[in-house]
Structure 1
């Protein structure tokens, strides 16, 4: 039986909510012989109901999922689906990394997941876009990103000619990804 640590931020964890979390998130334990303490953080922020789940698996594996919707129960359901997709997608890696018997591959066969790519699958590119990367400094790139109302902007550094990316962080600040050219 898995142990759960369910915490709430700006929300009261009622017994029925805790029971729902344990029932739904507990589904991922059927794939493994043992799991560590499952941590679940339920947050309400600006009308969004955010669920963060961390499932430690013996052998140094960490499953993690986060979902955000306008309904807490929907967020819980979606994060469980995300964790199960991770398990199905990584099944061969998990089976190799965990000692024999710890990972229950028969559970995967009995519960097929749609739209899951195996490691041998190739990814299909359905659209290609071309654009000119203009030379500018970081401040100009941030201004351009804000004018276009995008979350990131690709630009060529005016001094070094390197292609870089500026992006808007969740905390409202900006980040810069520099290439090593």
Structure 2
């Protein structure tokens, strides 16, 4: 799994990098078939009084790409919200994959 961490109008410090990596470990623990993760952290300021921190992620798995974003006042809060959303999406995808892997069709038709 590859992790690409990019900052737009914000410097990525080692502390932020470590924080993102530790938060993404939860997602990786739930679903280990992840190809790569691209995280973009940025600051958007439509006006000086309304400064918003942005966290985006593109997560690639076999046959699917998840794109999520989250906005907050604090960069760490934006990362937390993003990882929560991503974890829910990955678990939903995992359940969908596992629900389609039931008994083969030839075993179902043998009882008829």
TM-score by length of 2: 0.76
Distance in 1 (alpha carbons) for counterparts of 2:28 and 2:69: 17
Distance in 1 (alpha carbons) for counterparts of 2:43 and 2:25: 22
The unaligned stretches of length 5 or more in structure 1 are 101-181
Instruction: Tell me the number of residue pairs that the alignment of Structure 1 and Structure 2 aligns.
Output: 97
Query: Segments of 4+ in structure 1 off by > 4 A?
Result: none
Counterpart position of 2:77: 74
Point out which structure has higher relative CO (alpha carbons under 8 A, 6+ apart). Answer: 2
Matches within 5 A, 1:34-113: 34-46=33-45, 47-58=51-62, 60-96=63-99
Compute the displacement of 1:89 (Å).
3.5
Distance in 2 (alpha carbons) for counterparts of 1:90 and 1:32: 9
Distance in 1 (alpha carbons) for counterparts of 2:71 and 2:90: 20
Distance in 1 (alpha carbons) for counterparts of 2:22 and 2:31: 16
More helix by share: 2
Compute the displacement of 1:91 (Å).
4.0
Counterpart position of 2:105: none
More strand by share: 2
3-state SS of 1:54 partner: strand
The superposition leaves residues 83-113 of structure 1 with CA deviations (integer Å, 9 ceiling, x where unpaired) of 122233444323256x79xxxxxxxxxxxxx
RMSD: 2.0
Counterpart position of 1:173: none
TM-score by length of 1: 0.49
Distance in 2 (alpha carbons) for counterparts of 1:32 and 1:92: 10
Distance in 2 (alpha carbons) for counterparts of 1:33 and 1:88: 11
Distance in 1 (alpha carbons) for counterparts of 2:66 and 2:97: 11
